[in-house]
Amino acid sequence: MAALSKEVVLSARDVVVAFGERNILDHLDLDVYRGEVLGFVGGSGAGKSVLMRTIIGLIPKREGIIKVFGQYLDTATEEQLVAVEQRWGILFQQGALFSSLTVLQNVQFPIREYLNVSERLMDEIAVAKLEMVGLSPDVQSKFPSELSGGMIKRVALARALALDPELVFLDEPTSGLDPIGAGEFDELIKTLQRTLGLTVYMVTHDLDSLHAICDRIAVLAGGKVILTGTMKDMLASEHPWLKSYFRGKRARMANLES
Ligand SMILES: Nc1ncnc2c1ncn2[C@@H]1O[C@H](COP(=O)(O)OP(=O)(O)OP(=O)(O)O)[C@@H](O)[C@H]1O
Ligand SMILES: [Mg+2]
């Protein structure tokens, strides 16, 4: 594992998010360090997507503090928020792409939203991003319905990279891909992280991804991050959920391969 700088790029403290009476996130704490690939795991419905959406400001929290790039997001001015938003990129779990826009238009979406640049420059940036994620120029004019699941994920990644972010949020980027496609996507994420110096916050259920590319893993259960650490730390934990997740039947093969 590469030596990690301990600069915190994202911290969440005491975060509470509730829908009605039910606390989904219950006094949750989390730190993400610059340059790391953090794998975020937890059972289905645990609140992984809710936390990601809360961090980026799409879901209001009842309590707590979120700080990104040293900026407290709650007290930030509109201008400061826009500045922060330009420094992160997002790949959503659902609705990864706008179905009525072409691939090129999808990748250009954040550029159009945040930058005032010419159409020509916007084309050039989008084409470069598509190339970066391994897509050939002939996909530019296609619509999402004409693409395979793997290609959609790649286009969504290109869109997440559109503004040259320092931090990317990926919500289950390899779900729905076959194991070879998922492995290739992992490699792509790792390569981009290394070459661009990205910090990657990746929600995943994919044990192979966790083994292959994550520097650290954070585990969400009962509304809290109950453990953060390396895969070794996960395997050593006696917590029942962690034991069955990382050492259960389905985990055994992944563990053997690493
Ligand atoms: N807008 C909303 N209104 C009400 N409840 C919601 C809303 N969004 C999420 N929830 C609930 O919050 C809980 C956590 O959902 P979330 O989507 O974060 O789970 P998850 O950990 O991402 O699961 P998965 O691994 O299946 O994607 C679920 O019980 C979900 O039904
Ligand atoms: Mg989710």
The answer to whether residues 169 and 87 touch, using CB atoms and an 8 Å cutoff, is no
Q: Does the predicted TM-score (pTM) go above 0.85?
A: yes
Q: How far is CA 112 from the centre of its chain?
A: 22
Distance separating alpha carbons of residues 161 and 128, to the nearest angstrom:
10
Confidence class for position 255, pLDDT limits 50, 70, 90: low
Name the closest ligand to CA 54: 1
Report whether pLDDT(256) > 70. Answer: no
Residue 64 identity: G
Residue nearest to atom 20 of ligand 1 (CA): 45
Separation of alpha carbons 250 and 239, rounded Å: 17
- Best substitution site from 15, 21, 30, 49 to test ligand 1's pocket, by max atoms within 8 Å of Cβ? 49
Per CATH, domain 36-60+77-87+166-258 is 3.40.50.300: yes
- Ligand 1, atom 6: nearest CA belongs to which residue? 19
- Check pLDDT > 80 for residue 5: no
Q: Are the C-beta atoms of 253 and 206 separated by less than 8 Å?
A: no
248: which 2 tokens?
């259960």
Whether residue 82 is predicted with pLDDT greater than 70 in this model: the reply is: yes
Amino acid at 76: A
Q: Where are the domains of the chain?
A: 36-60+77-87+166-258, 94-164
pLDDT digits (tens, 9 = 90+) for 88-123: 999 998 767 999 999 999 999 999 999 999 999 999
